Amino acid sequence: MGKKKGAVFLDRDGTIIEEVNYLRHPAEIRLLPGAARALRIMQERYPLVIVTNQAGVARGYFDEQRLEEIHRHLEGLLNMEEGRLAGIYYCPHHPEAVCTSYRQECQCRKPKPGMLQAAARDLAIDLSKSYTVGDKLSDIGAGKNAGTKTILVRTGYGKEHEKQIAGSPFCPDYIADNLLAAANWILQHG
């Protein structure tokens, strides 16, 4: 078996695409400025994996079939920009879910590392050589809990979460203005 390589784990909302509260329809997807370019830069050296909490499923706002449609549309937009994803992992659970089948304390909801660990198993990824990028401290927590380096981006909720770092157990390895700045940091340090 070949040597495992690192990957870049990316939050979806507020990191790659504009933050939309409980995005419910593919037409609501808007790539953030520079995001497609950032993905093209990173994909030359790393597989790219989206890891996203999707409590909207648990809350009954949309079902997993709609979420799959949203992700297919996102992949199509990225493909048009020559961006490639190795996978998309999502957590549909929430401890206060209205849909009882999704009401649980799971290992996949960030800041727990379950989605990153599942991707590492599925895609033969070395987590210690990997990076996690997101706009929330829960993203940073998932990356830290999985053993990756972490980057907080100031897009989405990032500026708000940056102010909370001092009181958080999760301190990012780097803070970037956006995904493009994060990509450049990763390539300099990878």
Strands 174-176 and 87-91 come out as unpaired
**Any idea which residues carry the catalytic annotation?**
11, 13
Q: Give me the helices (H) in the chain, please.
A: 35-43, 55-58, 64-80, 114-123, 137-146, 158-162, 179-189
Task: Give the list of residues 6+ apart from residue 120 with CB closer than 8 angstroms, or none.
Answer: 7, 126, 127, 130, 146
| Residues 7/125, Cβ–Cβ less than 8 Å | yes
